[in-house]
Structure formats: structure tokens, C-alpha cells
Amino acid sequence: MTSMQNYATYREIKSQTEAWAQAIDVVRTASLPDARDYDQVVFTGCGSTYYLSLAAAALYQELTGRPARAVPGGELLFNSATVLTNQKTLLVAVSRSGTTSETVKAVEKFKAGKRGEVVVISNYDEVLSRMAEVNIVVDKGQEESVAQTRSYASMFVAATAFAARMAGQTDLVDAMEKLPQVGHSVIGTYETFAKEIGENLSFDRFYFLGSGFRYGLACEVNLKMKEMTLTHSEPFHFLEFRHGPMSMVNQNAVVLGMLSDVNRVHEAKVLAEMKTLGGTVVALAESEADVVFETNVPESVRGVLYLPVLQLMAFYRSVTKGLNPDRPTNLTAVVKLDL
């Protein structure tokens, strides 16, 4: 029987909290622009890093009170008129490799138009980083595997700390110092739980629910389930799930909810309803849930804690299905196109 340690994905999920710590340190000492100098902030990436951008843009706007949005790198490149106006824009480009074709070309076009400064968040000091005015590299997030786990989490921690600093809330960055220790504990406590859900092949569909900045995280863990396990998987905002998609819920469905503090009552009602429809429900939250964080860290900066248990769930399902989680079907670690 193959040891889980033989899989790079497993090692990367289990060791990711070291990269979280580095991400906090790197952002804490970075020289950042002034949020007040920009009319809007655009976050961009491709695949996982587009989903990271969705979460980061929502968080940035929540913390700073200034407009922010997320767009895929390809849209910024080919349909920039739908994204950019004459407003002064700060561009935050996110890329694990720092070489993703669409993102590199989109940043080149943005800089050629002299629209504003560029911040790059990456795990490698590559071509993209060298185009940035602010370069945030978290090299401990680097990975051997194709599907992003440690890299995504490390860059999301960096984006979270970036948003907090841009909002002038350094106390939130200080509060984030607890996350690596808590994350290590959460991984150890709930790995068996993740394994039980992941290895149960009677489940044939997974729905990940998250609202606010958590929607971007729901998109990402949905992608992990698709990539690694070739299982039907979709992300939704909590209340949107009731408007049609809940018709798919039955005894073969797992509905996983990233509960917030402020809207928990409404979100929990959705999960309870899905349980009455026969679905298996998994709640993740600061307290009173199937996966509990117990951090006392402000919820705006503890979002990374939702990720590891769900990553492990996808990993164990992949192995149980006889797939290789390190090398998902049809995928490569870096997408390079002739643009």
C-alpha cells in the first residue's frame, strides 16, 4: 500500500502553515502604495489564482471601503475595455509560477497603458515579479504537484495581509500571527474526518457554499475536487443555492458550508434544509461546527483556515479512486499559450 507521504500533494497540504508564516512576514515588511491614491483595485489571475482574486477583491473592498474587483487574466488581456476605465487603477496580479501566459501579457498591456502601479503576489521570483512595483514572493509555497494547495493558501494569506495593511489595520496583521499554529492544529484534528468523507465513494456530487470573500474560497476548493478527483462539484453563494441548484441534493450529495460569524443564522438554515433533503452536510466555522477553528482571530483575516481540511478531502478521494492527485488528468502546472 502506498504511503500518503509518497504524494507531493499530501506533503504540501500538511506543511502549508510554514508558508503561511512566511507570507505574513513578507507582507509585513513590504513597501506598499497608499490605497487613497487609487480609484479602484483590480485583482487578476487564472484558474486557482482567479478564484483567489475573487476572495481577495471582496476582502479588500470590505476592509478598505474602496472599490475592488476580480477578473481572469485572459479577460483583462482581451476584453480590457470591460474592466478598465480612465480611473487610476492599482493592479494586483496573482500567479503561483509567475509565468502564466495570460497574466504576464495582461500586465504588460496594463503597464504599456500607464494605468497605475502593479503588485505581484507569487511563489516564484519570475518574469511577472520583475514587472512589479511591489513584489511579494512566498517561496515556501512552491510545489511539486500540479493542483495548487500550499501555494494557493500561502498566496491567499499574503493577499489577506496585504488588504489589512492597505486598510491601515496593522492590528489585523498582528492577529494573523496565530494562524500557522491554529492551522497546524486544525489539520491534525480533522484529517481523519476529511479522510472519511473523501473515501466514501457513494458520494457522487459536492457543493461548496461560501458568501462574501468566502465565495472565492468555495470556488477554489470546488476546483480541487474537480481536478484531483474528477467528481461533479460546484460552488455557490449560500442563499443562491436555494434558487435551483438544491434540486441536485440527495443521499449522494455532500454540501459543505463555510459559515461566517455575521450571517451564520441565515447560512445555517440553508445547510439544515439541505440535510432534510437527504444530503450530507459539513459546516466549517469558528465555533459549533463539524470543523471548528477556535482562534479568536477576526474573521476577516482567518479565511485560510477553511482550506486545508477540504484540500485533504479531495486528496483522499483522489487516492481512493485510483487517481494520481499529484498529476490530475489533462493538466500541467503552468499554462503557457501562444499569445
Q: Mark whether 153 and 270 lie in a shared domain.
A: no
Tens-digit pLDDT profile for residues 28-47: 999 999 999 999 999 999 99
**What b/e string do you get for 229-246 counting C-beta neighbours within 10 Å, with b at 16 or more?**
bebebbbbbbeebeeeeb
Length of the chain, in residues: 339
Total structural domains within the chain: 2
Q: Mark whether 9 and 155 lie in a shared domain.
A: yes
* Position 333 pLDDT exceeds 70: no
Residue 265: CA count within 13 A, CB half-sphere: 1
Query: Do the beta carbons of residue 229 and residue 314 sit within 8 Å?
Result: yes
* Position 145 pLDDT exceeds 60: yes
Q: Mark whether 265 and 216 lie in a shared domain.
A: yes
Last residue of a domain, one of 168, 197, 215: 168
Distance between alpha carbon 202 and the CA centroid of its chain, in Å? 27
Q: CA–CA separation, 84 vs 286, rounded Å?
A: 37
* Position 25 pLDDT exceeds 80: yes
H-helix or E-strand spanning residue 40: strand 40-45
Asked if the structure places residue 115 within a domain, the reply is: yes
Q: Mark whether 32 and 159 lie in a shared domain.
A: yes
Residue 74's nearest CA partner among 92, 91, 57, 50 is 50
CATH number where 131 lies: 3.40.50.10490
Mean pLDDT, residues 50-73: 98
Q: CA–CA separation, 292 vs 287, rounded Å?
A: 5
* Position 338 pLDDT exceeds 60: yes
Asked if the structure places residue 85 within a domain, the reply is: yes
Q: Mark whether 162 and 236 lie in a shared domain.
A: no
* Position 218 pLDDT exceeds 70: yes
Q: Residue type for 73, please?
A: G
Q: Which phi and psi angles does 335 have, rounded to 5°? A: -95, 115
Q: Mark whether 106 and 140 lie in a shared domain.
A: yes
Q: Mark whether 159 and 186 lie in a shared domain.
A: no
Cell of 69: 474587483
Asked if the structure places residue 330 within a domain, the reply is: no
pLDDT for the residue numbered 271: 98
Residue 55's nearest CA partner among 158, 132, 159, 134 is 159
* Position 332 pLDDT exceeds 70: no
Q: CA–CA separation, 311 vs 329, rounded Å?
A: 17
Dihedral sign from CA coordinates of 115, 119, 123, 124:
positive
* Position 328 pLDDT exceeds 90: no
Residue 204 belongs to what domain range? Answer: 178-320
pLDDT for the residue numbered 86: 86
